[in-house]
Amino acid sequence: MINNSKRMAWPAPFREPVNPYYVNTGYAMAPATSANDSEQQSMSSDADTTSLTDSSLDGVPPYRYRKQHRREMHESAKANGRVPLPHIPRTNRIPKDIHVEPERFAAELISRLEGVLREREAQEKLEERLKRVRLEEKGTCV
């Protein structure tokens, strides 16, 4: 156990920079001749060297399987109208600030609504003025 703690204390060994030709390929690549030689050697020997734990046996990478599974679940939910969890609309949730006194809440709500009303009236007046100005401009241009 002491050896393990000492190993963890040391920083990782220096690694050579990766050749940019092989970066972002998604998987490790061997040189073509090496891969061909390895394949020929495997075919010439009678040993069964297939690994049953290899996820690439079926030819589908695991990330693609997850994406496909997610898509199938989404399509199934669309078709059946069912989802695994019940939908809880946001409007039906219990409000967090339920401890506010009703009189204070009413006063604050009224003041906010009056402010919204004043803002809308001002916007309507502005729109009316803009209409008049545009009509006057059209009248003078023609």
Q: What is the pLDDT of residue 76?
A: 80
Phi, psi of 12 (to 5 degrees): -65, 145
Q: What is the pLDDT of residue 67?
A: 84
Alpha helices in the chain (DSSP H): 2-9, 32-44, 62-80, 102-141
Q: What is the pLDDT of residue 61?
A: 66
The domain limits of the chain are 102-141
Q: What is the pLDDT of residue 100?
A: 77
37, amino acid identity: D
> Considering the entire predicted model, what is its pTM?
0.31
Give the pLDDT of the chain (142 residues) as one tens digit per residue.
455 555 555 555 666 666 666 555 555 555 555 555 666 666 666 555 555 555 555 565 676 778 888 888 888 877 777 666 666 667 766 666 667 788 998 999 999 999 999 999 999 999 999 999 999 998 876 6
114/120 Cα distance (integer angstroms): 10
Encoding tokens for residue 35? 């891969």
- Residue for token digits 């050697």? 41
